[in-house]
Amino acid sequence: DADVTQTPRNRITKTGKRIMLECSQTKGHDRMYWYRQDPGLGLRLIYYSFDVKDINKGEISDGYSVSRQAQAKFSLSLESAIPNQTALYFCATSRAGMTDTQYFGPGTRLTVL
């Protein structure tokens, strides 16, 4: 079984709809991250969480919110989706050390019409 799972893997929605993307991990890591990937821009950090009670905004948090329901679960919500939020979304986890590797889920492809 995969260590970092994301659901759904693909989603098509309409402008104005509320969308939740979910991430679960079995690695026992405290830190979790949400990124979005756009062609030519690489990955950009949306939100990150160092533990259940520590959630922080990343580079591009506007229009997004998150919830850390447990050590293993970190959800990303789009309260009112807009077309420029069409992207590939990745969840990642890591231990707390500066050099520790981030482990990525398989991604969720979101299309907002």
Partner 1 sequence: AQSVTQPDIHITVSEGASLELRCNYSYGATPYLFWYVQSPGQGLQLLLKYFSGDTLVQGIKGFEAEFKRSQSSFNLRKPSVHWSDAAEYFCAVGVYNAGNMLTFGGGTRLMVKP
Choose, by CB under 8 A, the member of 11, 13, 43, 57 that binds partner 1: 43
* Buried-exposed string 91-100: b where 16+ CB fall within 10 A, e elsewhere: bbbbeeeeee
Distance CA 63, CA 34 (A): 13
Judged by CB under 8 A, the stretch of 20-28, 67-75, 78-86, 97-105 that binds partner 1 is 97-105
Residue 50 binding partner 1, by CB under 8 A: yes
Choose, by CB under 8 A, the member of 61, 75, 77, 104 that binds partner 1: 104
List, in sequence order, every residue forming a beta bridge with 33; answer none if it has no partner.
48, 92
Residue 100 binding partner 1, by CB under 8 A: yes
